[in-house]
Structure 1
Amino acid sequence: MARVTDTNEENLYRAPQSSVAKTDSGKTDYVYRSPRRLANVVRGMIIGLIVLTLGLVVAQGNQWHVLQQMADKAFASREEMLAAATQSDRIVALLAGLFGILLLATYIPAGMWIYRAACNARALGAQGLDDSPGLAVGSYAIPFVNLVRPFRAMSQIWRASSLPGQWQKKTQVPALLRWWWGFWLLDNFVGYANFRTAKSTGSIESLIQQTQLSMASELLGIVASCLFLSVVLGLTRLQERQHANPEPASTERDGMDLSWLDTAPAMTAGPKVGA
């Protein structure tokens, strides 16, 4: 498949259809476009999410402390107890609201990056991928399907970007993808358990349990976010190298190129696009 390179200055938020073109025969021909700018946007937004999440965990820790004091009847008066509870609740609600807004905003460039990476894998010469670029993004929003299909799509995109002509036979799924998907599923499981707890009676004990589950979910989310960011940066670097030098990439270390870690900004997990 012939490669077409878009060398003009691009609009970062141009509609995804700009990554594909129709040939005279009506067959879809995919156009390679660098995912670097989208990856940088995703990186900045994920870093913002991590900072907000850490602040939220601290606020939830204070909320847990207030609830424990209420359970131990440690407040001198009802007014003091209500003041402390109201203040901690307001801080948690504010940070949770900001986190939710930023998370929804992050889904947009993350989804665009996934779509572009899927198109690029085909533009690099890969054929036979199971999911279309649109489904690679849309499968995240389909109940039950989103437990398996997004991981399959991402793993095939990575393998196809590593060795486009022979990805089905000579490449394997990198361990990084398994870790990312495992923490993403675990985060969602704990979040669901927290949702179920919130529907129980409003006793102090149940509120404490709910706060603990919320903190656990946020911390898992940080880990999952860091791992997803590693996937974004690693796959972006892999596609750029494959486009610049279309010779078969090495399949050592499960076909996974981690050289980008030498220049990527250091990030520590304290760790939800998923995208």
Structure 2
Amino acid sequence: MSDHLRPAYARPTRLSRWLIFFLVLNLLAAAVAVVTGFLARLPLVQLRRGNASDAVISAVLETEFRHNLVSAIHGVLGIVVAVLFLTWVYRVACNAHALAIKPMRFTPGAAVGWYFAPIFNLFRPYQAMFEIWSVSADPEAPYRRRRTDALALWWFLWLTTNFMFSVAIAIMVFSRKDDIGGLLVGNVFRLGGDALSVPLALVIMRIVSRLNRLQAAYRDRQHSHAQEHEAVPPAANTNFARV
């Protein structure tokens, strides 16, 4: 790869700190959403059993409002996390291109853009992240080690969580307000999405930390080798002109 085509290498230290900070906030919001979601489910169960007293109806409205409020906060934090995460993906993709010995398949723009392509966003983002990880781990032999359990777990949780929330939103939009069974099913999917958001945030933090260290370690080795090469004096010329 030509040097003039390589993106500039830059450690995403500040970006990573902000990303992890909001991941922690998102994790806490998800944990609270699990609690409020479970509490919102209890009066719905009583209502389905035929207990339609004023106290139960009041509890349904109160717990649902509280759960919707927490879910809204969780959603806003999720958007912030998504923006920071994609910005980080672009940055580490640029760094991988800066470290790579051979041309990479996915450009930094493609590593981000595939998240927004229907159908392709089911597998292309994982392939791009796998390439970034592999090149960062060993730019000279990027596919020598294919064991990436953290990436596999991240992608499984990512797809499953998004599926859970998508189904929950669809049920909320298309179900009737008096369909208690539909509300209970939607509540299950919302709880599932909130619950899976907790390990998803933890796995993303693990990937961010690990990938940053991999890239920084190889960059530091490159820098050390360059300094050692510059420090070695040129060999003395032992060829003497004949008299």
Q: TM-score range by the shorter chain?
A: 0.7 to 0.9
**What is the CA-CA distance between 1:31 and the residue it aligns to?**
1.1
By how many angstroms is 1:50 displaced? 0.6
Q: CA deviation at 1:196?
A: 4.0
1:219 counterpart = 2:195:
yes
Match of residue 85 from structure 1: 60
- 1:70 counterpart residue number: 47
Q: CA-to-partner distance for each residue in 1:215-268, whole Å, 9 max, x for gaps?
A: 011111222221111111110111111111139xxxxxxxxxxxxxxxxxxxxx
Cα separation, 2, equivalents of 1:126 and 1:157: 13
Correspondence for 2:229: none
2:97–2:103 CA contact under 8 A, matched in 1: no
Which amino acid in structure 2 is aligned with residue 179 of structure 1?
Answer: L
- CA change 1:140–1:173 in 2 (3 A) is farther
- Report sequence identity in percent: 25
Structure (1 or 2) with the greater helix fraction: 2
Using the size of structure 2 for normalisation, the TM-score is 0.84
- RMSD, aligned CA: 2.0
Give the aligned residue type for 2:58.
A
C-alpha distance in structure 2 between counterparts of 1:52 and 1:135, whole Å: 31
State the number of aligned residues: 221
Equivalent position amino acid for 2:104 in 1: L
Partner of 1:235 in structure 2?
211
Partners of 1:44 and 1:215 in 2: CA distance:
23
CA distance in 2 between partners of 1:238 and 1:121 (Å): 10
Secondary structure of the 2:140 match is: helix
Q: Structure 1: 5+ residue runs without aligned partners?
A: 4-22, 248-275
**Distance of aligned partners of 1:154 and 1:126 in 2 relative to their CA distance in 1, 3 Å threshold:** farther
| Residue 186 of structure 1: aligned partner | 160
How far is the alpha carbon of 1:52 from its aligned partner?
Answer: 0.5
| Rounded Cα–Cα distance in structure 2 between residues aligned with 1:120 and 1:146 | 22
**SS of alignment partner, residue 6 of structure 2:** strand
The 1:173/1:35 distance shift into structure 2, 3 A limit, reads farther
Q: 2:112 aligns with which of 133, 137, 155?
A: 137
Distance 2:81 2:167 in 1: 24
Q: Secondary structure at the match of 2:222?
A: coil
CA offset at residue 173 of structure 1?
4.3
**Residue 47 of structure 1 corresponds to which residue in structure 2?**
24
Q: Quickly say closer, same or farther: Cα 1:38–1:99, change in 2 above 3 A.
A: same
**Structure 2: how far apart are the matches of 1:205 and 1:125?**
54
Partner of 1:121: 96
User: How do 1:199-218 and structure 2 match up within 5 A?
Assistant: 199-201=174-176, 202-218=178-194
- SS of 1:45's equivalent in the other structure is helix
What's the CA shift for 1:2?
8.6
Q: Is the 8 A contact 1:126 1:167 kept in 2?
A: no
- Segments of structure 2 that go 5 or more residues without pairing to the other structure are 224-243
1: CA distance, partners of 2:123 / 2:50? 47
Q: Is the 8 A contact 1:126 1:161 kept in 2?
A: no
